[in-house]
Structure 1
Amino acid sequence: MSADTEPNGPDGAWTPSPTAISTRIGRPLVLGVVVLVGAFLTVPVVVTFVSSFAETATGVLPRGFVTLEHWRDVLGVGNDRMTVLPGLAFSLAIATGGMVLNVVIGVPIAYALTRYDFYARDWINTLAVVPLVPGVVLGLAFVQTYPNYGRSALGLIAGYCLLKSPYMVLTVQSSFQSMDLVRLEESARSLGASWPRTFLTIVVPHAKRGILAGCIITWTLAAAEFNFTFMVVSGSPDPFAVFLYRNTANATYMQRAAAVSVYFLIVVAAITALQLLGNKGFTTARDG
């Protein structure tokens, strides 16, 4: 007989304990809140995606299915000059470049801030994890300071890295803080591993969850970064943020729904690819 079912009342009767009450009420309550929040966030996405295949929309509910006309208009299918698909490919490339640069720079910064104690560490940590410069300000600074390179793909990649680096540093730093870095490194070094090998094959794989989360966050935010992109970009192809702007500013609801649905599909595909690549690429085990 458990403590929750034993008589505990003044007359030997059973009365519910606080633990039993919290178990019976708390779990369904938390589950209900999670379901409601998930539905609140998911329903607009589903309605938008469904509306992209509708002919008309009255209020919230779309009417008339199924047409691909809005998708063809957004993607430029059938036009003499197709500039949308090259722009989407260009956006994928520069968002990926900004993400990779964030990994190369952000992971060592997060490691140093977690592993070592040095002068002005707290100040550097604050600068590393707090986004101090808005996209508009950084875009103006890039165009003014680097007139020949600020408007190039390299300028976009560098700008994305600067704007989104706090998310990479913060997520990876959380992974490092949950590890005993000193013991992990001393164990590897005692077995003859050099410091670069210890860092790359032991420390980094143990922080794979934080690195993977940072990659997903920085990639998705860079792909949709509008303020910096709009200030910096010139000419074609149009990055994805400009593509969204042009297809949502003066367009019908169904065309806007199709443009946003393209973004949804690209983000889901990118997150799935990063998850598969992360789970496959970060491992310390050797195949026997």
Structure 2
Amino acid sequence: MQNSNPIFHRIVVYTIVGLLLIPIIATLAYSLSTHWGATILPEGFTLSWYRELLTTPRFLAAFGRSLFICISALILSCVLILPAIFVIFYYFPKLDRLMNLLILLPFAVPPVVSSVGMLQIYADSSVSLIGTPWILIGTYFTIALPFMYRAIANAFTAINLRDLMDAAHLLGASTPRAFFLIVLPNLKKGLMASLFLAFSFLLGEFVFANMLVGTRFETLQIYLYSVRAESGHYTSALVMTYFIFIFLSTWLASRLGSKS
């Protein structure tokens, strides 16, 4: 069987990449333009929209709130999910099939339905959670669960967990000590991949943030929604800032993972 033409493969790949880059390039050009109306190209370029964005206290506060909620949810995920996956794979490996079904539940129920259910449950609760970041952190934890579990479970499968633990026990290490000093370093790539994948998804989440907290704890997506009609140039600068931040985070994760 003859090898297929590599030039054709390159043309297909470059065409797909080019089509994917068109909206990004257009958004970038619009965020840098002074005015872009009936002409094919912008009439002028400026950085004033980015300068205005980065000096707006409301944007900086919303961005900080989003980082706080996402990072808190991911820390909670690591604290709870890592030991749980270790126990499943080391002591009860047959439960992995059940967990693969359970982690799909956050995607089985639409976010709007989940939000309405939580509003009804916690609206009359003695502890006021609606409109606070704490309910959003708990909700984001459930959203991050599928990303975290699947990536970390794959990493556990790749490291041959039982052989590592048996070797550690033979050398006199206790189970907790072996978990922290031997297992966790071997999970670095899978853990970082799951963290940044979940982080990029959570940072762009809108439905839960809008329905559970809204403007009472304005996050980045709520801020973007509220200013979308003010200026297309300003909104484009906001979108590009968000995109560049996610891109740099992903690049940093890949670099750190490759060095592990």
TM over 0.5: yes
Offset at residue 239 of structure 1 (A): 0.1
Asked if 2 retains the 8 angstrom alpha-carbon contact of 1:172 and 1:207, the reply is yes
Amino acid at match of 2:186: H
* TM value normalised by structure 2: 0.84
Offset at residue 210 of structure 1 (A): 1.4
Q: Could you say which structure has the larger radius of gyration?
A: 1
Partner of 2:144: 164
Q: In structure 2, do the counterparts of structure 1 residues 161 and 60 end up closer, same or farther at CA, with 3 Å as the change threshold?
A: farther
Amino acid at match of 2:136: L
State percent identity of aligned pairs.
24
Q: In structure 2, do the counterparts of structure 1 residues 273 and 83 end up closer, same or farther at CA, with 3 Å as the change threshold?
A: same
* Distance in 2 separating the partners of 1:192 and 1:44: 58
Partner of 2:32: 53
Q: Secondary structure at the match of 1:192?
A: coil
Partner of 1:90: 65
* Distance in 2 separating the partners of 1:173 and 1:34: 31
Match of 2:164 among 161, 180, 184: 184
Partner of 1:124: 99
Match of 1:259 among 222, 229, 238: 238
1:26-175 to structure 2, matched below 5 A, reads 26-58=5-37, 61-72=40-51, 74=53, 77=56, 82-117=57-92, 121-130=96-105, 131-147=107-123, 148-175=128-155
**2:185 corresponds to 1:210:** no
User: Deviations for 1:93-133, whole angstroms, at most 9, x for unmatched residues?
Assistant: 11111122222223333334444446765333311245233
* Distance in 1 separating the partners of 2:183 and 2:38: 53
Q: CA RMSD in A?
A: 2.7
Asked if 2 retains the 8 angstrom alpha-carbon contact of 1:98 and 1:219, the reply is no
* Distance in 1 separating the partners of 2:8 and 2:90: 41
Q: Secondary structure at the match of 1:216?
A: helix
Higher relative contact order (CA 8 A, sep 6+): 2
* Distance in 2 separating the partners of 1:269 and 1:32: 27
* Distance in 2 separating the partners of 1:29 and 1:101: 47
Q: In structure 2, do the counterparts of structure 1 residues 31 and 182 end up closer, same or farther at CA, with 3 Å as the change threshold?
A: farther
Q: In structure 2, do the counterparts of structure 1 residues 133 and 109 end up closer, same or farther at CA, with 3 Å as the change threshold?
A: farther
**2:175 corresponds to 1:195:** yes
Amino acid at match of 1:182: R
* Distance in 1 separating the partners of 2:248 and 2:97: 38
* Distance in 2 separating the partners of 1:183 and 1:28: 45
Asked if 2 retains the 8 angstrom alpha-carbon contact of 1:52 and 1:70, the reply is yes
When structure 1 is superposed on structure 2, of 124-133 and 47-56 the one drifting more is 124-133
How many corresponding residue pairs? 255
When structure 1 is superposed on structure 2, of 191-200 and 115-124 the one drifting more is 115-124
* TM value normalised by structure 1: 0.77
Amino acid at match of 1:85: L
What are the ranges of 5 or more consecutive residues in structure 1 without an aligned counterpart?
A: 1-17, 284-288
